[in-house]
Amino acid sequence: MTSTKGSPELTILMVENEEDTACLLEFVLQKNGYRVIHSNNGNHAKNLISAMNPPDAVLLDMTLPDTTGLDLLDYLRTQHHWQTTPVALLTTNAESLDSGRAARLGVRDYILKPVSPTRLAMRVNRLLAESQRKQTRVA
């Protein structure tokens, strides 16, 4: 397990339909000090996105029962305050991704499943650190 602990107030929206995987990811992220909001399908995630303030990062599964991760990301980017929210995609096969579209939609990272808990924590820490650096520069 990485020793880098996330800041306690940092929130991650995780959209993952597999209950077991979601439970596992949630545990690893919470263990690293993040608050996790979990959504298990596209519609629920869309409702959350319209209702809540943007989290510090979004982890988005590519394959959801009612939509695809990229379609959901498309929707997410149309929301006013969500345009710069850092997003990482969870995928089993990075090669099958429409990487051009993902890049246009501002995907910052890909996390390959099966996940290594250590690497997951490291990647999320890095994603958030990069995002915070950018915000500081803009400010």
Partner 1 sequence: MLALNHSDLTLRVGSIAVLCIYSAVVLLLAGILLLRFIRLAKERRRRNVTEIWRPLLAQCVVEVPETLPALKSRDHLVFLYLWNHCYESVRGDARTLLNELARRTKTDQFATELLRSGRLRRQLLAIVTLGHLQERSVWNELEGTLQADNAFLSLVAAKALLNIDAQAAVPLLIPVISRRKDWSPLKVVAMFEAVGADLAAETIAKAACQAAPEIGARLIRHLAATQSQHGLPPLRALLRESSPSDDVLAACLFLFGECSDPRDMATVRAHISHPTWYVRLQAASALGKMGVEEDEALLIGLLDDEHWWVRYRAAEALSNLPWMTADKMTRLCGALSTIEAHEHMLPFMAQSNIRKADSLPTVPPERDIL
Residue 20 CA from chain centroid, whole number: 17
The Cα angle at residue 104 between residues 13 and 16, in degrees rounded to 5: 25
* CB 30 to partner 1: min, Å: 10
Q: Which of 11, 17, 24, 33 binds partner 1 (CB under 8 A)?
A: 24
Buried (b) or exposed (e) across 98-118, using 16+ Cβ within 10 A? eeeebeebebbbebebebebe
Q: Among residues 4, 19, 129, 134, which is the contact residue for partner 1, using CB under 8 A?
A: 19
- 132 sits near partner 1 (criterion: CB under 8 A): no
Max CA pair span of the chain: 40
Segment lying near partner 1 (by CB under 8 A), choices 12-20, 48-56, 73-81, 123-131:
12-20
- 88 is a contact residue toward partner 1 (CB under 8 A): no
Per CB under 8 A, residues contacting partner 1 are 1, 18-21, 23-24, 26-28, 31, 113-119
